[in-house]
């Protein structure tokens, strides 16, 4: 019988992390926006310690991953976890593996006494939106996500 386990990524997993990010970008139709490599991932995840990666394993095969990091809420007076990427390989979807990975991340947030768990999802990804709603998530309709890109960020810093 197959057994699901979880493991935190190590430096030696960089190529696997990059492969999962590329698969996710392709799935979302955003692969033309990728601007990363193994060196930058290693720097930000394992040297600067700005994010963590958890793999979901079925027996000895990695079937999914979640990249997440801590954020902070002044209004709630505590830290939260932000899921940047949560991805299950296509052949393992609709079998409960996404749910088990999501629940594991929720348990990590609880264990770390986080006040919230947040993530964003493209409006076009209706299957993921339904999944998140099924897991108890609510869209934040009174908030709009904004982004300042790297070039605009550099220009802003110069002003």
Q: What distance in Å separates the CA atoms of residue 93 and residue 20, rounded to the nearest whole number?
A: 15
Q: What is the pLDDT of residue 143?
A: 85
Q: What distance in Å separates the CA atoms of residue 74 and residue 76, rounded to the nearest whole number?
A: 5
Active site residues: 132
What are the C-alpha distances in Å from 111 to residues 83, 114, 131, 135? 16, 8, 23, 19
Sign of CA dihedral 30, 33, 37, 40: negative
Q: What is the pLDDT of residue 75?
A: 93
Q: What is the pLDDT of residue 78?
A: 95
> Mean pLDDT per segment of 10 residues, for the chain of length 159 residues?
91 98 93 94 98 96 98 95 96 94 96 95 86 89 85 89
Q: What is the pLDDT of residue 151?
A: 86
Q: Which domains does the chain have, with CATH numbers?
A: 4-158 (3.40.630.30)
Backbone angles phi and psi of 144, in degrees to 5: -120, 135
Q: What is the pLDDT of residue 1?
A: 55
Looking from the CA of 109 toward its CB, the CA atoms found within 13 Å total 22
């Amino acid at each position: 019988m197959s057994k699901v386990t979880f493991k935190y990524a190590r430096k030696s997993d960089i190529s696997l992390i990059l492969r999962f990010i590329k698969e996710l970008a392709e799935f979302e139709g955003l692969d033309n926006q990728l601007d990363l490599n193994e060196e930058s991932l290693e720097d930000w995840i394992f040297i600067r310690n700005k994010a963590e990666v958890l793999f979901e394993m079925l027996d000895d095969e990695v079937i999914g991953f979640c990249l997440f990091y801590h954020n902070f809420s002044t209004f709630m007076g505590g830290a939260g976890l932000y899921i940047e990427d949560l991805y299950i390989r296509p052949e393992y979807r609709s079998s409960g593996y996404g749910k088990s990975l999501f629940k594991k991340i929720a348990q990590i947030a609880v264990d770390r006494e986080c006040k919230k768990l947040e993530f964003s999802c493209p409006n076009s990804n209706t299957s993921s939106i339904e999944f998140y709603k099924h897991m108890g998530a609510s869209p934040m309709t009174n908030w709009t996500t904004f982004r300042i890109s790297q070039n605009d960020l550099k220009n802003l810093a110069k002003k």
